[in-house]
A and B are shown apart, each in its own frame.
Chain A
Amino acid sequence: MELENKRIIRVLVLLCFLFLSIVVYLTYFELFQKDKVLTSSYNKRQWGQEDATLRGSILDRNGVVLAYSTDNEKKNKRVYPFGSLYSQLIGYNSSIYGKSLLEAQYNNELLNVREFAPILDLQQKLAGEQAIGNNLYLTLDHKLQMKAKKLIGNRNGAIVVMGPRTGEILAMVSKPDFNPSSEKLEQQWQDLIESKEHPFVPRATQGLYVPGSTFKVLIAAAAVESGMSDRTFNDEGSIVIEGKTINNFGNHAYGTVDLKSALAVSSNVAFAQLGVDIGDYKLKDIMARAGMNKDIAFDVPVSTSRFPYKDMSKLDLAAVGMGQGKLQVTPLHMAMIASGIANNGVIMKPYMVDRVVSATGNTLMTAKPSVFSKVMTTETAAAVKDMMQYVVEKGTGKSASVRGIEIAGKTGTAENELSMKLKNKEHAWFICFAPADDPQVAIAVVLEYSGSTGGKAAAPIARELIRQVLR
């Protein structure tokens, strides 16, 4: 009997273990897997919640309503009063096509889905009242957003305006865009998804572009770090590296130039040479600090900027030195790099949702600025800032200058897959921040296949936006 009893207890222990595994698994599921599971489009419950709750509104920093819901005979309708203006930020909310961007990322907040909601809202539910979701207050400035969209006009591309000290996004325009209202979406869905312009790709956050000469600010920083601040270059208009000839834009020859002038005139010859001299070890180092190949956590999905090199040849180093080659960046990321130089070398994590406020006025969540990465030292940043100011004063960025405001900027005219075959298909870039001694705003502008230079096409857009912000 003794032996049997001992074994019975072992069986009891086994059963204990099995039951415990159920409890542990349920807890694990609840804590780590649930969120992924529940957002499946096959989960019919999502739409149950949708009908029972009046979805929260989305407002700009001054309280301008950018999206709201109306309740017509138990059918909730999402209204976007500014049409396509915020389509690439807020996205859409359709019972047929699902949700995108902020509407998707902040679905739980907008519908007030929380762990304790069933208990806290019991009274409301029993009384048969319709639940009301939470409102999102964004950091965006509606007037600035309108201005940005007006400035970009019919051209495709993106504009990102952000506060360099905090990382808050003040305006963000991506073109092409679309009308996110449900009726329009249903009418145009097929055209939109089949369009060659890919209107469902928000250019500012998910568009990947060759950065071109704007990238030279990072190379200049790496040069300063490597003790090459005082180097001079003999620019004869072209340079041969590993048998390949690299030309300046427009084949200009600038003669003997120092680092500052090389950046001001955007000398490819100088920067190709710099890339080679800095070498792959230091180049990779600053790429990592700048956030290349690193996921950017933002309120909407962001594509990761690419620096896809392992072993770099001299030619690769030269190409990266002038911002070409296999480099690809998002406009948001370029705005962040400009912000980093403005903010003494510290890139702040970008954010767009400032706070979540319940229907009764309680603030449920407030965004806190946090550091994304430390890209360079304060000293290096000051040196690069000085060079960038010279770009706007005397160099390729003159058309961005505003009387009475010190602006630091860099132009870019990026070669791309189309410009290799056709003329006048370069992307026009401009990144900047202002005022240089006390930066309030950092901007990145890219115009797709514009055929013009960054100085001519993109810089004036930045100028107008700086005027509006600092007015």
Chain B
Amino acid sequence: MRILKYPRPFFMIVLVNVIGFGLLYFYKTPYDHKILLAGLSMILLIGAGYFTIRKVKLGEDYLFLIAGMLSSIGIIMLYRLNMTLGFKQLIWFGMGIGLFFASCFLYRKIQVWERLTYFYPALSLLLFAATMFFGRSIKGAKNWIVIGQFSIQPSEGVKIIFVFFIAAFLKHYEKQLKELVVFHFKMLKVKPLHILMGIAYMHFAFMVIQREWGTAVLLLLVYFMLIYVYIDSNRFLLVNGILAAAGGLGGVIFVNHVRVRVDAWLNPWADIAGKGYQITQSLFAIGSGGFFGTGLGLGRPDFIPEVSTDFIFSAICEEMGILGGVSVVLLYFILAYRGFKIALYATDYFAKILALGLTLIFGFQTFIIIGGVIKLIPLTGITMPFISYGGSSLSINFIALGVLQALSAGCQEEKEAFDGVRK
């Protein structure tokens, strides 16, 4: 029984891929060998990545496995929905693994990241300007740059840049900026915290202008958590809270797009054919799956709008059941838990904030989109990390994961040193 000697989590991923792609292969006649090939590539890619991490002792080995499992589920689902999309996503996945290692090594080799404080918002601004200038509207949100055959969604990158900025800023803030007054203008004292606030709200504004409500909320939540953890000032938290609440309330009252979403959330049945169409179709799908699902290939996720991106969770619930959906939620939870552990063990401030920020991006993004498609909270279009179709999204997720991996390798060394001392 040699096979049992393989590490069990990896074995589970192999099993999911064998079952998933196997079912897809047998489901359609004539049999398409490309499906089996895709499954094999998935196993090989994840295997290669995993054994590299173990070989090079790159720290935490679960992060990559969880991302691998999520991507497997996503790609199986995409193959089931649309072979072409599935294949494209597989290519993106391969490139994503490359980006994962690249970002991991780059982060460890080059130690400039915490000194680029004002470089980050400048980069965000540049990306934003580029989007506004060259951007194209796809489905109501002007957030795509189209280059040749590819379309890139810069806002995906802005999420990470934003976290890097806060981490770099707070690191210096902790050290020396706390009491500093940047400049006096008559009675107005501009402190570093005001600069942080200004730049953060600039990011939210970018997202609102691009009508990326989901990302705006995501950044706001991450910002809030980070200032709660790292800035010891209830007053600052309160001021931010009031501002955010006022902004949210204003949005609901004055901005039609936001109001429509809230209406569709409160009572989608009032206008099933119109405003409530997406969410009700999603609920039909989730409901018809029941606890155990209809089985892969046996449901009708083709009735769900935007099924390959925003609503992929509904398709998972339909065909893999609510139990399948809950397992996906739990996978994200372990991912977040691992991220939190890295943040807890990290000794360097920059690493600590960065780890927490990136983890929160994964965690909240998952909650916002899943909560949206199951009608727990208003729906805002945002991708599901590692599962939704999309090259930009997958690449950025893997880059973020690579950074987390690098941070975990850093704290692993420290932990080992620490354990050594204790012994």
Binding between chains A and B = yes
Chain A residues engaging chain B, CB cutoff 8 angstroms: 1, 3-5, 7-9, 11-12, 14-16, 18-19, 21-23, 25-27, 29-30, 33-34, 37-38, 40, 42-45, 48, 115-116, 118-119, 122, 125-126
A–B pairs, 23, beta carbons within 8 Å: A5-B344, A8-B229, A8-B344, A9-B344, A11-B225, A11-B229, A15-B360, A19-B332, A21-B376, A22-B367, A26-B286, A26-B326, A27-B322, A30-B287, A33-B287, A40-B269, A40-B272, A44-B284, A44-B300, A44-B303, A45-B284, A118-B290, A119-B292
Bound Cα distance A1, B295 (Å): 49
B82 at interface by CB-CB < 8 Å: no
Chain A residues with CB under 8 Å of B330's CB are 19
Bound Cα distance A23, B333 (Å): 11
B339-373 with Cβ < 8 A to chain A: 340, 343-344, 347, 352, 356, 360, 363-364, 366-367, 370-371
B66 at interface by CB-CB < 8 Å: no
Bound Cα distance A37, B283 (Å): 7
The answer to whether A118 touches B287 (Cβ under 8 A) is no
Q: What is the minimal beta-carbon distance from A49 to any residue of chain B, in angstroms?
A: 9
Chain B residues with CB under 8 Å of A12's CB are 336-337, 340
The answer to whether B284 touches A29 (Cβ under 8 A) is no
B316-338 with Cβ < 8 A to chain A: 317, 322, 325-326, 329-330, 332-333, 336-337
Bound Cα distance A38, B282 (Å): 11
The answer to whether A25 touches B291 (Cβ under 8 A) is no
The answer to whether A29 touches B374 (Cβ under 8 A) is yes
Instruction: Across the interface, name the chain A residue whose C-beta is closest to B370.
Output: A22
Give the secondary structure class of A's interface.
Answer: helix
The answer to whether A29 touches B287 (Cβ under 8 A) is yes
Chain B residues with CB under 8 Å of A122's CB are 295
The answer to whether A48 touches B300 (Cβ under 8 A) is yes
Chain B residues with CB under 8 Å of A22's CB are 329, 367, 370-371, 374, 376
Chain B residues with CB under 8 Å of A18's CB are 363-364, 367, 371
Chain B residues with CB under 8 Å of A115's CB are 290-292
Chain A residues with CB under 8 Å of B371's CB are 18, 21-22
Chain B residues with CB under 8 Å of A48's CB are 300
Interface centre among A18, A23, A25 (most CB of B within 10 A): A18
- A12-B337, A119-B292 known; A3+B232 contact, CB < 8 A: yes
Q: What is the minimal beta-carbon distance from B368 to any residue of chain A, in angstroms?
A: 10
The answer to whether A7 touches B229 (Cβ under 8 A) is yes
Which of these, B322, B337, B360, contacts A30 with CB under 8 Å? B322
Chain B residues with CB under 8 Å of A21's CB are 371, 376
Chain B residues with CB under 8 Å of A43's CB are 284, 288
- A8-B340, A15-B363, A30-B291 known; A37+B326 contact, CB < 8 A: no
Bound Cα distance A5, B366 (Å): 23
Which of these, B300, B332, B333, contacts A45 with CB under 8 Å? B300
Instruction: Across the interface, name the chain A residue whose C-beta is closest to B332.
Output: A19
Bound Cα distance A320, B396 (Å): 77
A-B contact number at CB 8 A: 119
Chain B residues with CB under 8 Å of A40's CB are 269, 272, 280, 284
B298 at interface by CB-CB < 8 Å: yes
Interface centre among B285, B286, B332 (most CB of A within 10 A): B286
The answer to whether A15 touches B336 (Cβ under 8 A) is yes
**What are the 9 A-B residue pairs with the smallest beta carbon separation, nearest first?**
A34-B287, A7-B229, A43-B284, A18-B367, A42-B272, A25-B376, A12-B340, A38-B287, A15-B363
Chain A residues with CB under 8 Å of B370's CB are 22
The answer to whether B356 touches A8 (Cβ under 8 A) is yes
Chain B residues with CB under 8 Å of A25's CB are 374, 376
Which of these, B26, B230, B290, B303, contacts A4 with CB under 8 Å? B230
Chain A residues with CB under 8 Å of B317's CB are 26
Instruction: Across the interface, name the chain A residue whose C-beta is closest to B276.
Output: A42
Chain A residues with CB under 8 Å of B329's CB are 19, 22-23
Which of these, A4, A19, A23, A29, contacts B229 with CB under 8 Å? A4
B392 at interface by CB-CB < 8 Å: no
Q: What is the minimal beta-carbon distance from A37 to any residue of chain B, in angstroms?
A: 5
B412 at interface by CB-CB < 8 Å: no
Bound Cα distance A118, B370 (Å): 24
The answer to whether A23 touches B300 (Cβ under 8 A) is no
Instruction: Across the interface, name the chain B residue whose C-beta is closest to A116.
Output: B292
The answer to whether B294 touches A118 (Cβ under 8 A) is yes
The answer to whether B298 touches A118 (Cβ under 8 A) is yes
Chain A residues with CB under 8 Å of B293's CB are 118
B119 at interface by CB-CB < 8 Å: no
B418 at interface by CB-CB < 8 Å: no
Chain B residues with CB under 8 Å of A30's CB are 286-287, 290-291, 322
Which of these, A16, A119, A126, contacts B333 with CB under 8 Å? A16
The answer to whether B229 touches A37 (Cβ under 8 A) is no
Instruction: Across the interface, name the chain A residue whose C-beta is closest to B286.
Output: A29
Q: 1/0 per position for B146-162, CB-CB distance to A under 8 A?
A: 00000000000000000
Instruction: Across the interface, name the chain B residue whose C-beta is closest to A126.
Output: B26
Q: What is the minimal beta-carbon distance from A330 to any residue of chain B, in angstroms?
A: 30
B273 at interface by CB-CB < 8 Å: yes
Bound Cα distance A30, B286 (Å): 8
B228 at interface by CB-CB < 8 Å: yes
Instruction: Across the interface, name the chain B residue whose C-beta is closest to A113.
Output: B288
The answer to whether A23 touches B326 (Cβ under 8 A) is yes
The answer to whether B295 touches A37 (Cβ under 8 A) is no
Q: What is the minimal beta-carbon distance from A15 to any residue of chain B, in angstroms?
A: 5
Chain A residues with CB under 8 Å of B290's CB are 30, 34, 115, 118
Q: What is the minimal beta-carbon distance from A368 to any residue of chain B, in angstroms?
A: 26
Please name 18 further chain A to chain B contacts, defined as beta carbons within 8 Å, in addition to the given A30-B291, A119-B292, sorted by A numbering. A9-B340, A11-B228, A15-B364, A19-B329, A19-B332, A21-B376, A22-B370, A25-B376, A26-B286, A26-B374, A34-B290, A37-B287, A40-B269, A42-B272, A42-B273, A43-B284, A45-B288, A125-B298
Q: 1/0 per position for B267-281, CB-CB distance to A under 8 A?
A: 001001100000010
Bound Cα distance A18, B336 (Å): 12
Q: What is the minimal beta-carbon distance from B305 to any residue of chain A, in angstroms?
A: 12
Q: 1/0 per position for B228-245, CB-CB distance to A under 8 A?
A: 111010000000000000
B192-241 with Cβ < 8 A to chain A: 225, 228-230, 232
Chain B residues with CB under 8 Å of A125's CB are 295, 298
Chain A residues with CB under 8 Å of B325's CB are 26
Bound Cα distance A399, B26 (Å): 72
Interface centre among A19, A25, A27 (most CB of B within 10 A): A19
Q: What is the minimal beta-carbon distance from A14 to any residue of chain B, in angstroms?
A: 8
Bound Cα distance A4, B347 (Å): 11
Chain B residues with CB under 8 Å of A118's CB are 290, 292-295, 298
Instruction: Across the interface, name the chain B residue whose C-beta is closest to A114.
Output: B290
Instruction: Across the interface, name the chain B residue whose C-beta is closest to A44.
Output: B303
Q: What is the minimal beta-carbon distance from B134 to any residue of chain A, in angstroms?
A: 36
Bound Cα distance A34, B317 (Å): 13
- A4-B229, A19-B329, A26-B326 known; A45+B374 contact, CB < 8 A: no
The answer to whether A11 touches B291 (Cβ under 8 A) is no
The answer to whether B343 touches A8 (Cβ under 8 A) is yes
Chain B residues with CB under 8 Å of A119's CB are 292, 295
Q: What is the minimal beta-carbon distance from B145 to any residue of chain A, in angstroms?
A: 32
The answer to whether A26 touches B322 (Cβ under 8 A) is yes
Chain A residues with CB under 8 Å of B229's CB are 4, 7-8, 11
Bound Cα distance A43, B283 (Å): 9
Q: What is the minimal beta-carbon distance from A8 to any residue of chain B, in angstroms?
A: 6
Interface centre among B284, B337, B367 (most CB of A within 10 A): B284
Bound Cα distance A37, B285 (Å): 10
Bound Cα distance A25, B280 (Å): 16
Bound Cα distance A48, B284 (Å): 13
Chain A residues with CB under 8 Å of B376's CB are 21-22, 25
Bound Cα distance A5, B355 (Å): 13
Instruction: Across the interface, name the chain B residue whose C-beta is closest to A38.
Output: B287
Chain A residues with CB under 8 Å of B294's CB are 118
Chain A residues with CB under 8 Å of B363's CB are 15, 18-19
Q: 1/0 per position for B169-187, CB-CB distance to A under 8 A?
A: 0000000000000000000
The answer to whether B360 touches A11 (Cβ under 8 A) is yes
Bound Cα distance A340, B363 (Å): 62
